[in-house]
């Protein structure tokens, strides 16, 4: 099977990306060269255009190998805008159902280290903060909410009384009663 891939950058410097996922679930980023046992790459066109220079590749691969092509995210400029390892994996798995988690993680750690750091930080935050509240904590939050509501009601009552007893309010009462 043959797939065409062009490495021309997009607007805002968004880079084109290409992953190959084999039937065995191994993940390989395509970088413009053949990958033994996975694909053969042939350069079929090249355009010299300064910043916009690009090459078009014909990738020959097994029919059972999935080729995923995408551009860096427009808003973030990241190759993987997903916020967790799981979201990133499921995004790839939608396009290449045979992908293995260990191979995907290894590929990301090797070729997209800033993404791996971001996802590791999210995993650490989930481990630290991602546990459900206890009944005692929920009760403490409810008590704090009730206390704040009572303080707010008392404050609003005091403000209303001050306004009602102000000289200006008494003057208005005299004018309206006359």
* 101-111 and 85-95 helices, crossing angle to 10°: 110
State pTM to two decimals. Answer: 0.72
pLDDT of residue 146: 93
* Per-residue pLDDT, 163: 82
Q: What is the DSSP letter of 84?
A: S
Q: What is the pLDDT of residues 163-174, one digit of tens each?
A: 888 877 777 676
Alpha-carbon span 88 to 122, nearest angstrom: 12
Instruction: Examine the pLDDT at 130 and tell me if it is beyond 90.
Output: no
According to the model, what pLDDT value does residue 39 have? 97
Q: Tens digits of per-residue pLDDT, 50-103?
A: 888 889 999 999 999 999 999 888 888 889 999 999 999 999 999 999 999 999
- Asked if residue 45 lies in contact with residue 55, where contact means CB atoms within 8 angstroms, the answer is yes
């Amino acid at each position: 099977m043959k797939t065409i891939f062009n490495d021309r950058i997009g607007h805002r410097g968004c880079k084109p990306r290409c992953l190959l996922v084999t039937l065995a679930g191994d993940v390989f980023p395509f970088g413009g060269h053949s990958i033994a046992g996975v694909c053969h790459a042939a350069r079929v066109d090249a355009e010299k255009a300064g910043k916009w220079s690009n090459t078009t590749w014909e990738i020959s691969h097994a029919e059972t190998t999935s080729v995923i092509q995408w551009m860096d995210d427009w808003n973030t400029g990241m190759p993987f805008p997903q916020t967790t390892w799981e979201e990133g994996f499921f995004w790839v798995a939608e396009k290449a159902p045979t992908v293995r988690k260990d191979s995907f993680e290894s590929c990301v750690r090797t070729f997209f280290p800033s993404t791996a750091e971001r996802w590791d930080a999210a995993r650490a935050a989930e481990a630290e903060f991602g546990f459900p509240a206890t009944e005692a904590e929920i009760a403490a939050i409810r008590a704090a909410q009730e206390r704040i509501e009572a303080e707010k009601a008392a404050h609003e009552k005091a403000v209303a009384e001050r306004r009602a007893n102000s000289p200006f309010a008494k003057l208005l009462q005299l004018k309206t009663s006359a």
